[in-house]
Structure 1
Amino acid sequence: MAAPNPPALDNPEVLAEKIVDALIYRIGKDQKTARPHDWLAATVLAIRDRIIDKWFASTRAAHKAGAKRVYYLSLEFLIGRLLRDAFSNMGVMEEVRSALQTLEVDLEIIREQEPDAALGNGGLGRLAACFMESLASLEIPAYGYGIRYLNGMFRQRIDDGWQVELPENWLDHGNPWEFERRESSYKVGFGGEAAADETGMIKWVPAEQVIATAFDTPVVGWRGKRVNTLRLWSAYPIDPIRLDAFNAGDHIGALVAKNRSEALIRVLYPADSSPAGQELRLRQEYFFSSASIQDIVRRHIQYFGDIKTLPDKAAIQLNDTHPAISVAELMRLLIDIHNLPFAEAWDITVKTFGYTNHTLLPEALESWSLPLFERLLPRHMQIIYAINAKILREARAKNDSDEFIRSISLIDENGERRVRMANLAFVGSHSINGVAALHTDLMKETVFHGLHQLYPNRINNKTNGITQRRWLFQSNPDLVNLAKEAIGDGFMDDFSKIAELGKFAKDKAFQEKFSAVKLKNKIRLAEHLRRTMGVKLDPHSLFDVQIKRIHEYKRQLLNLLETIALYDQIRSHPEKNWVPQVKIFAGKAASSYTRAKQIIKLTNDVARRVNFDPVVGDLLKVVFVPNYNVSQAEIIIPAADLSEQISTAGMEASGTGNMKLAMNGALTIGTLDGANVEIKDNVGDDNIFIFGKTASEVLELRQNGYNPRELIENSAELTQALNSVASGVFAHDDPNRYSDLVHDLYNSDYFMLAADFDDYCDTQRKVDNQWLDKSAWTEKAIINSANMSWFSSDRTISEYAKDIWRVI
């Protein structure tokens, strides 16, 4: 007999009863004693029941259809809070709000109780989260695979201006969204040796093994039409305690296996400045890759029987180089476990994998020292040598140049021999994509030049996108309501229709309403920063925002030096008609990235001096918002007037923050880098502020000899700003704090701040002049919001699905 359908969720009274039932019988709390976190858990559990129904139905439908699945492997999934995402996509947000009101509970208060899932750091992880939501919204069967980090990257605290890293304890009180799958557990080995047995077959006998166990989280698509799975791996020892050692008094040593397994899932991107840190990173990457590939192969055999049909039913996408070891792992399973010959295994592997490259920075194209790799993964080292031999023989037949052979080899022999993971991902995939048109072109010319010559049809472009449902519909509901009032609600399901807003760009009445929405969002952000940081901001000021991980190539320092120059100008000429502005910075520096941490400290030192200077007053404020995460972004982005996308041209693969900010009506100031190029094409040259050297000009400068000292000495503003920093104006307690930073700018300036500084300052003054014309500024902001539909992750995923995965 079929189970009865659950009660409709559009009835607030029924929903309120379900929430109370969950509170009493699943949380164990009475209404009178329940705290906000209890109401949060009860509300999630009540709605989760309906999500589970959709989840099961989605899985059954995929099984029945024999559908090909997409498997997205990523070391990061920056999903943030899930309540609003899931409730909005299920279409029950207002019903939940009404139901809670009948119980005298405020939805916004309990929503704040949900921690951000500490599963990512920057754009890579947020892209993966957007892609998972779009996959479900487009009704494409998919699994995301990653690690269930216990403490994430870190929780950032600012002490005396310095970044302090603290554990992100997001799982301390459980996670109502996840389900442990004990049946989906796999052994993952490390070390030992790989040798032929008596039959001549290679057998790997690991010296150490851990258990990878799956935890599943439902990912709800728009309108709840499909629910996919985010599967995260937790690690457990085979024997959690050595009783003999414990009973002998070695209470710490008895738990070494437990501690080693937990180290795999403790922290995202452990510092790799030590040999132990490098080993942990490689162990992490193999741990989640092995568990994921074993799970994919097991599912395929269970439902389709024949491993040889794997490419027909599975599309595995590697999100950057972190899961590149999956190529060797699939080969190991096909050869050692399923007894396929090498050539057939390789054909299956290449047809199954796709690889997304996210960076041209050499340090981000991972490589591992040969001794470390071979000690930790001896069988995989054998397989990689075999793959390399095949590739190099093919290459030699086409081009006998030693330089060409060196460029494509999986083994880097320049100095210490190292395994090149990006090259492994490239040769092991039938498709290699960049994430913006410029980035894709540069891939062909630089890091993959040799491999592109060998495989000229593999590289393609898939410009990144963001989900408008999270970054507009949920984050900026007032702007959405204004759009509905103007053009109807068709854009909610067909986002290309948001372009109809463009016809109101010059409409004075609409401009006033649009500006009112922006001001309301700025007031909300100002209140948030007053409450959390004690800083007082004027929401009528220009909010100039740079929010992203702290890295030299993203050039927060360029923004900061211009701020110092502006500060000096305001003090020198307070009589001028200056535009009041707030410089908002946020982002984390990697734990071992000393210079990035120094830039955070300088930002806070500058803020301390500028913000309390009575001469400047409210004309200039500087704020560094600590612990930047998805929830912070959802408040900052709708309030931004100006979006800083100022990376050194040729170094930013794409960017996604640039898309979120422009979609919410911020004007971009940026270089022609990453997706800025395509944003300019979509919003029009007059609605974006472009400055600086192009990628080709940057390359030419480097090749012909770059002299930053000469440029600095020819720029009065930059010279004065650097003199202020070097002399200790912003570091009264340690005047030499920034002497090395200034020295490096004069003598190397790898990221070319000096080359772009004057043009950047001039462009900032153009921004000021435009801001003074409120109608013209608002017109440009409306045009930005209206012309960003192409940057929806739905479009990106549709391109992946059609061109790479072949699932639509």
Structure 2
Amino acid sequence: MKSITKKEFKDKLLEELDDQFEVDISHASNLEIYRALATVVQDGYAKLWRQTRIEEAHSGKKQVYYFSIEFLPGTRLRSTLLNLGWMDVVKSGLEDLGVDLDEIAAQEPDMALGNGGLGRLAAAFMDSLASTGYIGNGNGIRYKYGLFKQKFVNGYQVELPNDWLQTSKSWGVRRDNKSEIVRFGGKVELVNDDNWLVPKYSGTNDVAAVPYDVAMVGYHQDVVNTLRLWDAEVPAGAELQYPTIADRRKVEDLTSVLYPDDSSYEGRLLRLKQEYFFVSAGLQSILHYFRNSLKQTDPEKLPEHIAVHINDTHPAMAIAELMRLLVDEWRLDWDKAWDITQKVMSYTNHTIMAEAMEKWDINMMQEVVPRILQIITEIDRRYVISLSNKVSAEKINSTKIIKDGKVQMAHLAIIGSHSVNGVAPLHTRLLETVVLKDFYDLFPEKFNNKTNGITLRRWLQIANPRLSDLLDKTVGEEWRSNSTKMLELQDQYDNSNVLTKINQIKFENKKDLSDFIKVKTGIKVDPTAIFDVQIKRLHAYKRQTLKLLHIIKLYQDLKNGIDHPKRVVIFGAKAAPSYTFAKQVIKVINEVAAVINSDTSIHDKLKVVFLENYDVTLAERIIPAADLSEQISTTTKEASGTSNMKLMANGALTIATMDGANVDIAKAVGKDNIFIFGLEKDQVYSYYNNHNYHPGEIYHQDKEVAAILDSLINGTFPKAATEGRVLYNNFLQDNEEFFVVKDLKDYLAKQADVEKLWKDKKSWSQKCLVNIAHSEEFDADSTVNQYATKIWHLKKLNSGK
């Protein structure tokens, strides 16, 4: 890792400002300084990046390509400075020049390449691969606008374009010489060529996939890996294929937005094209690297050098595309190609919800990727033959890839991979025993668990430097390179000085967030209050609705003279543009917040803040200030979660159902250090199987529940009358699948326990300390080591750190 002196840094920065903008530091804008600084940082890792690519080719060591529709790395400046080991030097150098690093870093928008946990995990794995010394590449899409920018207008979510590339383009290096052609549509006919059936295409629409490479710098490592993001352009020489501006825009729109609105046929068509686009471009580039850089001509050696990981079902066409390339272009026998494909491919399932396991209409696939549909049909045919007379017809039918006119992408991913993993023990058990039971019965050797993780050590250093300094003073600086050292914080359980310091750090972080909230929303909040935080994608199963009902209960109590400790409830969430119910929930929360925040009769005992445009950078502001972490999804619905891990690492206590990684957190910290409530797994499935959940019975028997729900429709929140009625009806319908009313009373009881503990500052601080110490269990570096050794079979490029 190349170090830099303060003088060297300042000289380089001033030189870049002069070269790029012809200004000196005193006349430069913050944006100009940011761009000059980004160039200096890029120069700092450029040589290491080159060396890594040379060494990986020369060493011939196996490397993984992580295919994901989302990557959510946040901003690059701070994380790259930290990983290079330049953070302190740059911060001090800028101070000498009269410049604040925080103000400069604020010029950089988040890379708008993801939405939630799926993309954040993918980005964390890219960081961890480099930081643990493995060769790993990301493969995704360079969205021009990514996910929308969220604004609230009259309480409603409004989606605006997120033009993040205006200032962040400096982090992606365009590689024109690595471009690939991706073929869509048309017709395909198999013709005989020297006794080999080869496809003959006609009427296709060809698109140029142009890669932009982003460096993923390892933490205090000499390894710099590559996140390759593909952009869509009209191919050179294909102008006649796209004669009008509208035609060209259709090509460019292929990579415009993440998750096009799938409520229309055109939206679904675009999403299917996106998925094939980055899969095809990525696999073509891998095989070109295999042949040209590794000098390999025997495709049977591909599994010795290459692992491809499918992150959820979006990249599942990788299996059929690799078969296409091996059979059609390398002219490999089908059985050999299939054996290679299965050895190369591995798959992570991130959900148990049926609607999230993609299914594509065969007619749509015929329109977009006709050759891929042919190959999937053949894979399915051979799969059925392989099981005939060995297992029941029912089991064959339940696991087929093509059923009822649709291609089951999860089935393709499982059948075409050698490894299928869940992301938390409970999630994996549910896959094996319920959701994918028939597959588990057939292929038990494929299934395994790899619990999700976060870039714990790096994330803490960037988001919570105060806590990082305390860890330095209590357990030593070694925790920054070895997270297991954080466990030694447990030894300070009765140390009043350390407990006081934890409280002081939290209070300072809460003051910072309070100032931010005042600037952004105009709402004044008290940093001595409980900061109660729910930050995640807006979805019915994540149950922002349950938190809403608790807020209403607190408000009713305060209006009726029943006292509670001061509480600030903070939401951060985006709803998918076509997800009407989620958008209605946002409206209701915002209108409830407006009534409560303006009601002087409750003396500021309760404030509700819904911060717009939740992203990685906003999370870095909120999480260090959180006292209470809301992880209240319906049991069996959350695969894992990662915000729960970040929040506990920053000393927030968790209130949670026994769902996803909450189970692991409870095991790590002990049930005395977490607030557990709600239905358990077996109870949930009992209701599903027996169809005997009737929330209306609870409503009619429990006056407290009825009063809370009635407030949604009785004019208490007049500007949310329509949406309030929708929520009310949803909660009370028979067999409502997320059990909001069923879990409400237990949730309220546990919230009362939260308030009781809050009054005992020492006990609260001790539980915070336990959570911080045991967050080491969720370090993504450890998770990546498990993937690398047990699924991908990688060896480190160097000794690692």
TM range (shorter): over 0.9
Q: Distance in 1 between matches of 2:501 and 2:693?
A: 49
Q: Give the corresponding residue for 2:713.
A: 726
Give the CA deviation at 1:289.
Answer: 0.5
Is contact 2:192-2:198 (8 Å) kept? no
Which of the numbers 694, 704, 709 marks the counterpart of 1:717? 704
Where do 5+ consecutive residues of structure 1 fail to align?
Answer: 1-5, 246-252
Q: Give the corresponding residue for 2:573.
A: 587
Which of the numbers 12, 21, 24 marks the counterpart of 1:18? 12
2:346 paired with 1:339: no
Is contact 1:149-1:267 (8 Å) kept? yes
Give the CA deviation at 1:615.
Answer: 2.0
Is contact 1:146-1:232 (8 Å) kept? yes
List aligned pairs for 1:384-783, cutoff 5 A: 384-401=376-393, 403-413=394-404, 417-574=405-562, 576=563, 578-704=564-690, 705-730=692-717, 732-733=718-719, 735-748=721-734, 749-783=736-770
Which of the numbers 25, 30, 50 marks the counterpart of 2:44? 50
Give the CA deviation at 1:722.
Answer: 1.1
Give the CA deviation at 1:174.
Answer: 5.2
Q: Say if 1:244 and 1:464 are closer, same or farther in 2 by CA, change over 3 A.
A: closer
Q: Give the corresponding residue for 2:299.
A: 307
Name the amino acid aligned to 1:698. V
Q: Distance in 2 between matches of 1:646 and 1:240?
A: 55
Which of the numbers 200, 203, 210 marks the counterpart of 2:199? 203
Mean Cα deviation higher: 476-485 or 704-713: 704-713
Relative contact order (alpha carbons < 8 A, sep ≥ 6): 1 or 2 greater?
A: 2
The percentage of aligned residue pairs carrying the same residue is 42
Is contact 1:648-1:673 (8 Å) kept? yes
Mean Cα deviation higher: 632-641 or 23-32: 23-32
Is contact 2:588-2:723 (8 Å) kept? no
Size of the alignment, in residue pairs? Answer: 788
Q: Distance in 2 between matches of 1:281 and 1:804?
A: 29
Which of the numbers 160, 164, 171 marks the counterpart of 2:165? 171
2:352 paired with 1:360: yes
Give the CA deviation at 1:659.
Answer: 0.3
Name the amino acid aligned to 1:156. Q
Q: Say if 1:254 and 1:561 are closer, same or farther in 2 by CA, change over 3 A.
A: same
Mean Cα deviation higher: 355-364 or 465-474: 465-474
Is contact 1:163-1:597 (8 Å) kept? yes
Mean Cα deviation higher: 685-694 or 217-226: 217-226
Q: Give the corresponding residue for 2:313.
A: 321
Which of the numbers 94, 97, 103 marks the counterpart of 1:100? 94
Give the CA deviation at 1:706.
Answer: 1.3
2:234 paired with 1:237: yes
Is contact 2:507-2:528 (8 Å) kept? yes
Give the CA deviation at 1:790.
Answer: 1.1
Q: Distance in 2 between matches of 1:54 and 1:242?
A: 39
Q: Distance in 2 between matches of 1:91 and 1:776?
A: 37
Q: Residue 397 of structure 1: SS of its match in structure 2? A: coil
Is contact 2:146-2:258 (8 Å) kept? yes
Q: Deviations over 1:491-517 (max 9, x none)?
A: 111110000001112211111111000
- Greater than 6 Å deviation, 4+ residue runs: none
Q: Deviations over 1:439-463 (max 9, x none)?
A: 0010112221111111111010000
Q: Distance in 2 between matches of 1:255 and 1:542?
A: 55
Give the CA deviation at 1:640.
Answer: 0.4
User: TM-score of the superposition, structure 1-length normalised?
Assistant: 0.96
RMSD: 1.5
Q: Residue 248 of structure 2: SS of its match in structure 1? A: helix
Name the amino acid aligned to 2:40. A
Q: Distance in 2 between matches of 1:412 and 1:738?
A: 39
Q: Residue 644 of structure 1: SS of its match in structure 2? A: strand
Is contact 1:546-1:585 (8 Å) kept? yes
Q: Say if 1:266 and 1:400 are closer, same or farther in 2 by CA, change over 3 A.
A: same
Q: Distance in 2 between matches of 1:677 and 1:514?
A: 25
Name the amino acid aligned to 2:336. E
Q: Deviations over 1:671-709 (max 9, x none)?
A: 000000001110111000000001111010121221111
Q: Residue 183 of structure 1: SS of its match in structure 2? A: helix
Q: Distance in 2 between matches of 1:597 and 1:257?
A: 33
Q: Distance in 2 between matches of 1:763 and 1:204?
A: 65
Is contact 2:457-2:481 (8 Å) kept? no
Where do 5+ consecutive residues of structure 2 fail to align?
Answer: 796-801
Mean Cα deviation higher: 742-751 or 226-235: 742-751
Q: Say if 1:532 and 1:48 are closer, same or farther in 2 by CA, change over 3 A.
A: same
Q: Deviations over 1:399-421 (max 9, x none)?
A: 123x21221000122xxx11000
Q: Residue 222 of structure 1: SS of its match in structure 2? A: coil
Q: Residue 105 of structure 1: SS of its match in structure 2? A: coil
Name the amino acid aligned to 1:58. T
Is contact 2:3-2:85 (8 Å) kept? no
Name the amino acid aligned to 2:30. P
Mean Cα deviation higher: 23-32 or 298-307: 23-32
Is contact 2:83-2:218 (8 Å) kept? yes
Q: Give the corresponding residue for 1:3.
A: none
Mean Cα deviation higher: 428-437 or 236-245: 236-245
Q: Distance in 2 between matches of 1:10 and 1:734?
A: 57
Which of the numbers 775, 783, 790 marks the counterpart of 1:796? 783
Mean Cα deviation higher: 735-744 or 683-692: 735-744
Which of the numbers 279, 291, 302 marks the counterpart of 1:289? 279
Name the amino acid aligned to 2:664. E
Is contact 2:572-2:612 (8 Å) kept? yes
Is contact 2:157-2:586 (8 Å) kept? yes
Q: Distance in 2 between matches of 1:242 and 1:475?
A: 48
Q: Residue 591 of structure 2: SS of its match in structure 1? A: helix
Q: Residue 569 of structure 2: SS of its match in structure 1? A: strand
Q: Distance in 1 between matches of 2:241 and 2:584?
A: 48
2:221 paired with 1:224: yes
Which of the numbers 153, 156, 172 marks the counterpart of 2:147? 153
Q: Residue 654 of structure 1: SS of its match in structure 2? A: coil
Name the amino acid aligned to 2:656. G
List aligned pairs for 1:9-88, cutoff 5 A: 9-88=3-82
User: TM-score of the superposition, structure 2-length normalised?
Assistant: 0.96
Give the CA deviation at 1:240.
Answer: 8.9
Q: Distance in 2 between matches of 1:279 and 1:702?
A: 33
Mean Cα deviation higher: 194-203 or 497-506: 194-203
Give the CA deviation at 1:175.
Answer: 1.6
Q: Distance in 2 between matches of 1:636 and 1:355?
A: 32
Is contact 1:240-1:257 (8 Å) kept? no
Q: Residue 220 of structure 2: SS of its match in structure 1? A: helix
Give the CA deviation at 1:198.
Answer: 3.7
Q: Give the corresponding residue for 1:249.
A: none
Give the CA deviation at 1:66.
Answer: 1.0
Q: Say if 1:158 and 1:470 are closer, same or farther in 2 by CA, change over 3 A.
A: farther
Which of the numbers 211, 214, 239 marks the counterpart of 2:211? 214
Name the amino acid aligned to 1:391. Y
Give the CA deviation at 1:728.
Answer: 3.0
Mean Cα deviation higher: 165-174 or 475-484: 165-174
Mean Cα deviation higher: 200-209 or 472-481: 200-209
Q: Distance in 2 between matches of 1:726 and 1:698?
A: 28
Q: Distance in 2 between matches of 1:687 and 1:710?
A: 34
Name the amino acid aligned to 1:233. W
Is contact 2:591-2:719 (8 Å) kept? no
Q: Residue 165 of structure 2: SS of its match in structure 1? A: coil
Q: Give the corresponding residue for 2:799.
A: none
